[in-house]
Structure 1
Amino acid sequence: MSSNKEEMVNLQSLDSPKNGKGDPESSPVNASSEEDYNPHMHRQLAHATTNAETLVHLLKGSLGTGIMAMPQAFFNAGLISGTINTILIGVLCTYCLHVLVRSQYELCKRKRVPVLTYPESMKMALEVGPTCFRRFAPAAPIIIDVFMIVYQLGICCVYIVFVANNIKQICDAYMPELDIKLHMCILFLPLIGINCIRNLKLLAPFSTFANVITFVGMALILVYVLQDMKPVSELDMVGYLRNFPLFFGTTLFALEAVGVIIALENNMKTPASFGGYFGVLNIGMSVIIVLYVLMGALGYMRYGGDSKDSITLNLPQDEIMSQVVKVIFAIAIFISYGLQCYVPVELIWNTYIKKRVEGSEYKLVYEYILRVALVLATFILAIAIPRLSLFISLFGALCLSAMGIAFPAIMELCVAWPDKFGPYKWLLIKDVLLILFGLIGLVAGTYTSLVDIVKSFM
């Protein structure tokens, strides 16, 4: 489930080329010896992962709330359109991740450092790219950090809404109905408590537990989904064009895992095995795409136009097994909240605050204030917009269209500048098209989600 995703995102976001790995700012570009330097051979990892462990992390990291929203995504796109486009988006995401990993590897060779974070890589790429891009290099790390923080906090908002909705359905079966916002308020203090755990290792056992029960819950969901499916004739094969940006944002949110991918590759014992036609990335993403297509198609065939923001909300309210499923996912996602919020806390604290309060006797107090403030921010946003599907679509389109599609293409374009674009400058043309596609997805998906959010208040 997504707990491993958060741990790996933390590694990517916060680890820099230290511990004897070199300083990217002080390492000069040495073109003559560039080909002699292999970054993979210079990595010093205390706990490197094997290929099998990396594959497991990749699979677990992509099975979060996004897959639960796929039936409604298929409702927005239609059965055939949803199937085809989920595969196409999955292939596109996988390709862009390859582009990002290759570009970072090339930059590591040029700078002669073993590993680079995403913000560092983008800054260095812009510095060697077209002149018009170079002015943005100093701001690149901040831009990447902002997108990462917004995305991670967006996931936290999704988690609050998800947990509250599932708890509400369980409680409504045994007591008078309460407003969803009251259930969110009940969660507020527990969320602060789990986010105030400063040591990630203390959360690791809970993370493992969450992963195990998540797979159990998914198996139980399939028991319901495979019963009484609707005739195909009652389903839309192709959805309305107006709803496609919602499908795009939801699917991108579910499939794209840019932070996980970089962290996994950076922490592998044999990183050369990550890429390639039969590498860890392609194998893992192939399995993930199949799972998402199956959950989306089967869920839509079971519930049709009644598909809700999360498939767990379609399960019967008065059956013990369905209540067990909802309890399972509520617990798993609640645990994952602490891990998800750990990433922006550490990113904001280490990058922007810690150095300013280093000598203060209230340093620990400031850190806890930050932790509580971030929980409060996600809580207020979740209270204001308690629509799970719109949250998922909004943050998928807003953040991942940029981080997962447009930015990798920009990085590759800069790395290939000025004369490594291949015959007929096909690489330049391809990257420009990817940048345009990412920007269109960002604008259209964000606009459609915001419009529907506004309409939800009317």
Structure 2
Amino acid sequence: MDENKAETMYLRAVPDDVNGEAKDSAAEENYDPHEHRQLPKPTNNIETLIHLLKCSLGTGILAMPQAFARAGLVTGIVFTVLIGVLVTHCLHVLVRSQYAACKHLRVPLLSYPASMAAALEVGPAPFRRLARPASITVDIFLVVYQLGICCVYIVFIADNIKKIVDPFYAMAVELHMLIILCPLIVFNLIPSLKLLAPFSAVANVLTFIGLGIVVYYLATGKKSHQPLDLWGSLETFPLFFGTVLFALTAVGVVIALENNMKTPKAFGSPCGVLNSGMALIVLLYVTVGAMGYIYCVSKCSDSITLDLPSGPLATSVIVMFAVAIFISYGLHCFVPVDVVWRGYVEPRLRAAATPPARLVLAEYVLRVLLCLLTFVLAVSVPRLGLFISLFGALCLSALGICFPAIMEACVKFPHDLKPIWLLKDVLLFLVGIVGLVAGTYTALQAIFRSFQSTSPLHA
């Protein structure tokens, strides 16, 4: 995948002069980072749009019917659109802030952590000393988010395999997780994204075919006769918020996508890749969420694939998504491995004069340990929908809303930071903080209650 390749190429690209003196303002103004990028295989607009769609069409869209069950039909439609607009704006803010940071440092490319550090470095004096800690904080949230996705994927695969196998031999979902653990570890040991690229292409095809069949079932299948809840409740709305954030926000790859474009200025233009892609994504999420909720009402499972009727076609859909998500696990786990290994573990081992053979062994051990960590978390909390809400609220409220707002305020400081822009960024930050605290608390509370319940979510 080009976006993952770009992310790993620039993930550690923190320039040596982040803490240096500011550049001459005239020279900075004349420098255009887009004109200085030298990419071996840049993507065109259509390829970038396809990557953006692929990053957003996974387990998140399959959880949208349950999200609508928590928010109500009307509330779900309205707030999915509003959250989509909010997320799209924040992604624009992130890309613009990264561009401004590149201009200031006169470098063509920066990763998200490096952009955060560079933005704080030109902000108000109290923020400048936080540049390095902020970069590490972004790394932490990225690692937690990507590992959270891997946990979600393990639960998703196990849930769907259980649905297929149960008519023949019933087993606990945790045993299905144990069965797939060894294949996941082996797949996660593949060290090169180039070797994973063919598998990614297969996952893309399976995902789009499976999604088409799901929509067919929702449109033609027998609907539930339960009355629809139009407005939902305030108590479960934070879970809806976390799920939609998890589903819509591809913040981990947006900068990488823009960095790897042949015509990067087309990414954020009014009718560019980001706006077009997010409009289509929001439309798909509203469609699947509303149709899925009408199809099963309050009995929506964590994934809509679990609500499909028995039959060969439905079984084929489950198999398609299980295989696609299995492949995607290795791709998503690549990012935390790269962050932890290249940013923290490898430099220390090289400083200790570790032999090359042991360096290779240490990297493989790290891959296995991270895979085992996601397995342990998934077994501990085998609740797919609650996992999605938790990591959406915890990580994406920060990565997708709070941090971009801080970055924009800093890169505009002091001359371009008009009061209206400052007010807007403060409001965005507050929305992100409220979403993070309320969503995380509600998800953790729901997870705790699910273990206390006499009738658990997973039989």
TM-score (norm 1): 0.94
Look up the match of 2:52. Answer: 58
Query: How far has the Cα of 1:8 moved from its partner?
Result: 5.4
User: What is the one-letter code of the residue matched to 2:118?
Assistant: M
Same amino acid, percent of matched pairs: 55
C-alpha offsets along residues 130-158 of structure 1, whole Å, 9 cap, x if unaligned?
Answer: 23322321201110000000000000000
| Local SS of the residue matching 1:156 | helix
Other-structure match for 1:339: 331
- Which residue is equivalent to 1:392? 388
Q: Which residue type is aligned with residue 324 of structure 1?
A: S
Aligned CA distance change for structure 1 residues 250 and 92 (closer, same or farther; 3 Å): same
**Contact 1:94/1:285, CA 8 A, preserved across alignment:** yes
Counterpart of 1:55, as a letter, is L
CA–CA separation in structure 1 for the residues paired with 2:131 and 2:321:
42
One-letter amino acid matched to 2:250: A
Q: Tell me, yes or no, if structure 1 residue 350 matches structure 2 residue 331.
A: no
2:435 to 431, 441, 454: 441
Correspondent of 1:83 among 77, 83, 102: 77
Tell me whether 1:40 sits opposite 2:34 in the alignment.
Answer: yes
Which residue of 1 is the match for residue 424 of structure 2?
430
Amino acid in the other structure paired with 2:218: V
Given residue 50 of structure 1, which amino acid in structure 2 is its aligned partner? N
2:89 alignment counterpart = 95
Query: Matches of 2:37 and 2:14 in 1, distance apart?
Result: 9
Give yes or no for the alignment of 1:203 onto 2:196. Answer: yes
How many angstroms does 1:99 deviate by? 0.6
* 1:26 shift after superposition: 5.9
Aligned to 2:276, the other structure's residue is in SS state helix
Give the TM-score normalised by structure 2: 0.94
SS in 1 for 2:314: helix
Asked whether the equivalents of residues 68 and 312 of structure 1 are also in contact (C-alpha less than 8 Å), the reply is yes
Q: 1:305 to 1:156 in 2, by over 3 A?
A: same
**CA–CA distance in 1 between the matches of 2:349 and 2:47?**
38
Distance 1:213 1:276 in 2: 31
Q: What is residue 307 of structure 1 aligned with on the other side? A: 300
What residue in structure 2 maps to residue 408 of structure 1?
Answer: 404
Q: Does 1:367 align with 2:363?
A: yes
- Counterparts of 1:32 and 1:103 in 2: how far apart (Å)? 19
State the match for 1:158 in structure 2: 152
Among 56, 61, 64, which residue is 1:67 paired with? 61
1:199 Cα deviation after fit: 1.1
Q: For the Cα contact (< 8 Å) 1:235–1:301, is it kept in 2?
A: yes
On the 8 A contact 2:112/2:138 being kept in 1, the answer is yes
Cα pair 1:27 1:112 within 8 Å, conserved? no
Total equivalences in the alignment: 447
Q: Which amino acid is the alignment partner of residue 312 of structure 2?
A: I
Aligned-pair distance for 1:9?
Answer: 4.3
Q: Which runs of 5+ in 2 are unaligned?
A: 453-459
Deviation of the 1:228 alpha carbon: 2.4
User: Which secondary structure does the structure 2 equivalent of 1:275 belong to?
Assistant: coil
Structure 1 residue 418 displacement after superposition: 2.0
- Give me the whole-angstrom Cα distance separating, in 1, the residues matched to 2:6 and 2:57: 14
* SS of equivalent residue, structure 2 residue 39: coil
Structure 1 pair 112–8 and aligned structure 2 pair: CA distance change class (3 A): closer
Q: Provide the secondary structure at the position in 2 that maps to 1:139.
A: helix
Matches of 2:186 and 2:235, distance apart in 1: 41
In structure 1, the residue matched to 2:455 is: none
Contact 1:275-1:282 within 8 A present in 2 as well:
yes
Change (3 A) 1:12 1:219: farther
5+ long unaligned stretches in structure 1: none
User: Does 2:132 correspond to 1:138?
Assistant: yes
Q: Which amino acid aligns with 1:240?
A: S
Is the Cα contact below 8 Å between 1:315 and 1:322 reproduced in 2?
yes
Aligned pair partner of 1:288 in 266, 277, 281: 281
Measured on the aligned residues, the alpha-carbon RMSD in Å equals 1.6
- Aligned residue for 2:98? 104
How far apart, in 1, do the equivalents of 2:122 and 2:281 lie?
A: 35
Indicate the residue corresponding to 1:29 in structure 2: 23
Instruction: Flag the 1:208–1:168 CA change in 2: closer, same or farther, 3 A.
Output: same
> Structure 1 CA distance, aligned partners of 2:25 and 2:148?
41
What is aligned with 1:223?
216
Classify 1:66/1:12 alpha carbon distance in 2 versus 1 (closer, same or farther; 3 Å): farther
Distance in 1, Cα, partners of 2:173 & 2:10: 35
Is 1:456–2:450 an aligned residue pair? yes
In 1: Cα distance, 2:242 partner to 2:59 partner: 14
Mean alpha-carbon deviation: is it higher for 157-166 or for 307-316? 307-316
Q: In 2, are the aligned partners of 1:229 and 1:303 still within 8 Å (CA)? A: yes
